[in-house]
A and B are shown apart, each in its own frame.
Chain A
Amino acid sequence: MTSYPSIKRIQLSVFLISVALIAYEIILFKIFSIQYWHHFAYLIVSIALLGFGSSGTFIFLFKTKLKNNFSTILYLFPLLLLLSIWINIYLSYVIAFNPLMIIWQPLETLNLLYVSLAMFIPFFLGAVCIGLSFSVCPDNIHKIYFSNMTGSGIGSLLILLTVFHLGPYEIILIISIITVCATLAAASSRMRIVVSAVILIAIVPLYFILLHDKPVYMSKFKDLSIARSQMGAEIEAETFGPLGLVTVLESPAYHYLPDLSLNCPFKLPKQKGLFINGNSAGAINKFTGNLKDVRFMDYRTTSLPYKLLNEPDVLIIGGGRGTEILNAKYHTAKDISVVEMNGDIIRLMQGEYRHFSGDIYNPEKCRIFVEDGRGYLQNTRRKFDLIQISLLESMESASAGVYSLNENYLFTTESLKICLGRLNPGGILNISRWIKNPPRDCIKLLTTAISALEAKNAPGSIIMIRSWQTATLLIKNGSFKRKEIETAKKFCKSRLFDFCYYPGIKEEETNIVNKLDESYFFLVAESLLSGEGENLYNEYPFYIRPSTDDMPFFGHFFKLAVLKKYLAPYGRISIPLIDWGYILVWIALCILVLLSLILILAPIKLIGGSPGGKTPVFIYFGALGLAYMFLEMSFLQQFIRYLYDPVFSASVVIGSFLIYSGIGSLIAGRIGTVRPKHVFFAVAFIVTVGIIYMKSDQLLQNTLSGFSLWMRMLICSLLIAPLAVPMGIPFPSGLSRLAGKGEALIPWAWGINGFFSVIGASVTVLIAIQWGFKSVILSALVLYILSAVIYRKIGRG
């Protein structure tokens, strides 16, 4: 009989591998967001995660050999995993993948697959170790699952702890050390222990020789790469944090102020480029303290509210490089509050760039809040005369549809209502956006604003103006007066800006200086305010329905009508008009489904007459994979609104879900034989808690808003427990049932669950975009009920 390591050592090894894999997955996403763009990062990581699913097929096909060599595999595969992680870093510098060429040159897809498959290997190797452990320890499945889930949970918390202080390659070093420790846990001979110990000792100097201070490779087509290649440009400062890589570029050729009037008579000051993950995030303006040097501020669309308000009390959401703070100072704001969620930017502005920027982030001169804009608005009881929401992303990113999958809780109907509630009587909410062609961002902003105001208040409370490439929306708490409209008219006329809308506007007053081929904004406003909204939403070629908390995809504009209207008749010249982020999710899903079907269906023929019945196993473990991912991702989204921070939310939600599910698995293991009624009871609990949370979303949001961040994190984690503990029961119980009556199917079931978990991530986004996150939760609950019904059928011959 083959001897295996003790269950304790297997558990420890699985635990450490799980820590390493989840940490690697998260850091890989961050690295790819720097190398390329975040939607490509999503695509690559999704394909790479197929490693989990295919491991099941691999184990199934070679089960005898693998089981016989389990001790060696549990030792060797983590070493290979470590090697593949380091090789992948090397490959990232040598594979010439240009994501932007994919839409023009389909062959570039091969490079994408090449990159994805290279990244697939570490996940495959790690997943084989975990999946094989289930197969060789049929009596301890709950314990293995507990180690797997708690390891994954702790891995995601590890990232939360390290990402504030360490760079991406330093985190890779930690992952490498954990992986070597996994081999130590599995080492069954003195020789193996010595080899692992040598690697452990060698890895740190190797890191310093090969990776320390090495910048992450960045595509030549990212804003930062392009700006760097210009004459005299050099990187001055760089810092990596939970919200990405922040870079400051010194370049004599960097000039940035998108909403500046064409006839501004004043020179721009010297500027330094600010980039996040290599994407332009505007410029830091040199400010000597002399307001005369920044007179250009008066020639921006964003400055209109200052003409309508007298020494306002201002709240700036998205302080970033400080341009809006400077604008508020120039316009003699009485009091300035700034909300910026990226602490790294504030540290740079208060540190190295304090003098250059004129110390505009001095906490004695303005109130500074390092938090999410929506969160601040939700929590504060203060009221303001002016709330200013800056232009937050670069045109390059906006035009490529990069943000189409980003959940944005700042530009939802509910959020704008909160903003309006934080305005003093007569106060103004001021939001600027890029004008895409054909217009869609600003149109959606308009529809969302009108939805927030409700039809009866909207006509009198909106002014929208635009320059040649940006639009600024003003929403007043109250109605604009005739005198204010006259002031706005003078402002626009003298600065070559156009009106999109003001109360009482006529079409001939629009589209005069900066001509679009139609008066889009006027026509949209007129339709919406005359109750023709539904027709407009249906007929407009882009998706412009108001964004809501349940469907918070402000950047999602894609409709099939776009392809029909533009791509079909005009071919390739219309490619830039399409928002590719959404299409890439579909592409990812198609690739994943195709590969999954090949890798899942292929072994079915080989199973032949094995016991257990294949269809119930497929449905049960597939449904569990999808349902788990649906709930995890939906709650991650929902909890962003409780924690007001996507990084904290991701860490708390993922970490809590996995750890509690691991505990659930352990509890199920204590029960002994898990009967259908136990699974049914667990599912009934999941469904009940899921529905309670769905119904009490608003109540929870309001209740939690009064607590500190750490308290909210703790409460959120505890709130997840009643849901996640029972979620940890059905999967290991299903495997245990197979262990009794259809052991051959265990690796296959592991693979199916892995595939559907990966697909679940893409499907969640697609369902949420179409029907909202509540529909995702409902789908998950239905899938859990289905799995409870199917449970008694698995493991039957």
Chain B
Amino acid sequence: MRKKMVKSQIIRRGIQDEDVIQAMISVPRHRFVPKKWISMAYNDTPLPIGYGQTISQPYIVAYMTEVLNLDKGSRVLEIGTGSGYQAAILSCIVKKVHTIEIIPELAESASLRLKKIGYQNVEVTCSDGYYGWPEHAPFDAIIVTAAAGHIPPPLLKQLKKGGRMVIPVGGHFMIQSLVLVEKDNTGKITTRNLMAVRFVPLTGEHE
């Protein structure tokens, strides 16, 4: 099921990073969704996980991960742990994932779930993601999984030079685009608006 999902939703839509593809194949998404939605865990859709939060559409998870240009040595900060699925995907690719969730119930359940499945390199905390996690800064990459009222200045400070941060724009069920914030080696900041559909190469049956 996972392989089918990856083939039809991820690879066909142009995700090429082999690490991301392998992570999407290896992480059991069905263990991150509520029982009610297990049968739809591998469908091409976001799903509710409680407290008004969602687990993103698989393609969005893969796309956000790919645009961060991660490697085995990367240290990543995630804002908005949710179910823990995105953190699990990241943990398969990078050295360490620090993830912050502001809803106590979700932070606790995600932490337990990640430990139970065996993701050892993920650290979960319950706090306000706006301030980042200065004790572990700077980070090679920051991923914000919920749309933000604005880009928190403390996060930009905690991003390494040469690092990347990705933020979704839109609502929980309506991620319209991703904003990629890049800090170059001189510390200069630029943003790029990545519209999912414009960046999808027309491969497979769409060709």
Contact = CB atoms under 8 A, between A and B. Distances in A.
B53 to A, nearest CB: 7
Counting chain B residues whose Cβ lies within 8 A of the other chain, the interface size class is: 35 or more
Output the residue of A231, A280, A513, A574 with the most chain B CB within 10 A: A231
B30 interface: no
Interface stretch (A250-258, A451-459, A662-670, A753-761): A250-258
B52 A220 contact: yes
B195 A517 contact: yes
Output the residue of B156, B189, B193 with the most chain A CB within 10 A: B193
Interface string A570-612: 1111111100000000000000000000000000000000000
Contacts of B129: 253
A514 interface: yes
A396 interface: yes
A455 to B, nearest CB: 30
Contacts of A253: 102, 128-130
Contacts of A257: 149-150
A564 to B, nearest CB: 13
Contacts of B126: 231
Interface in B35-57: 40, 44-46, 48, 50-53, 57
A226 B53 contact: yes
A262 B181 contact: yes
Contacts of B149: 255-258, 280, 283, 395
B196 interface: yes
B200 A468 contact: no
A31 B70 CA distance: 47
Interface stretch (B89-97, B136-144, B171-179): B171-179
Nearest to A99: B173
Contacts of A231: 102-104, 126-128
Nearest to A296: B153
Contacts of B173: 100-101, 103-104, 221, 400, 576
Instruction: Determine the main DSSP class of A at the interface with B.
Output: loop
Interface in A90-137: 98, 100-101, 103-105
Interface residues of A, number: 56
B20 to A, nearest CB: 16
Contact of B169 (A98, A395, A566): A395
Given A221-B52, A226-B51, A105 B130 contact: no
Contacts of B53: 226
Nearest to A220: B52
Instruction: Determine the main DSSP class of B at the interface with A.
Output: mixed
Given A395-B170, A399-B171, A105 B40 contact: yes
A207 to B, nearest CB: 30
Contacts of A288: none
Interface in B117-165: 126-130, 147, 149-153, 156
Contact of A438 (B57, B153, B191, B195): B195
Nearest to A228: B52
Contacts of A571: 44
B202 interface: yes
Nearest to A434: B169
Given A468-B191, A572-B57, A437 B177 contact: yes
B174 A573 contact: no
A490 interface: no
B32 interface: no
A566 B197 contact: yes
B154 to A, nearest CB: 9
B198 interface: yes
B35 to A, nearest CB: 14
Contacts of B202: 569
Sort A-B residue pairs by CB-CB distance and give the 4 closest, nearest first: A256-B149, A226-B52, A437-B177, A104-B45
27 contacts: A98-B48, A100-B173, A100-B174, A104-B46, A105-B40, A226-B51, A226-B53, A231-B104, A231-B126, A260-B150, A262-B191, A264-B153, A280-B149, A395-B147, A396-B147, A399-B171, A399-B174, A437-B169, A437-B193, A437-B195, A468-B193, A514-B193, A517-B199, A570-B206, A573-B60, A575-B174, A576-B173
Interface of A: 98, 100-101, 103-105, 219-222, 225-226, 229-231, 252-253, 255-260, 262-265, 267, 280, 283, 395-396, 399-400, 436-438, 468-469, 496, 512-517, 566, 569-577
